[in-house]
Amino acid sequence: MIKVGIVDDHAIVRSGLRQFLSEHVDLRVVGEAGNGREAIDLVREHEIDVLLMDLSMPGQSGIDALAMLRAKAPDMGILILSGYPEEHYAINLIRQGAREPLHKSSTHVLAHACRVRQHPGPCSNSISA
């Protein structure tokens, strides 16, 4: 069972992701957070294999939380969900420790991206958006 955490400032997005992931028997959502600070607390309190995290959130953003999350859970997969399609965002996020930046419209690859979390480094070669 792959334990997933969801971080997004929009409750409706978190709810939709939870519903989508509940349709996959090998994926289980173990917690949610609304910003980067809450994401750090979530990782501290729960054993999480993959963290699905929004890029832009009020307070502490996903970008701001990346280094601390990586330090607290170096083996955890961090999949950044973003509405920003620009390639330079993806490159910077990977450099900062994100496993795979995904556009929010890429739900067709989301479950697969969670499953390949155990691969070291970026999993871009395993996922086609």
CATH numbers and ranges of domains, the chain: 2-121 (3.40.50.2300)
Q: Assign residue 121 a region (left: φ > 0; alpha: ψ between -120 and 50; beta: otherwise).
A: left
pLDDT at 122: 45
pLDDT at 35: 93
pLDDT at 121: 47
pLDDT at 52: 92
Mean pLDDT by 10 residues, the chain (129 residues): 94 94 93 95 95 85 84 88 61 58 60 59 39
The reported pTM is 0.74
Token duo for residue 63: 């970008």
pLDDT at 128: 34
Helix, strand, coil % in the chain, rounded to nearest 5: 45, 20, 35
Query: Whose structure tokens read 């699905």?
Result: 52
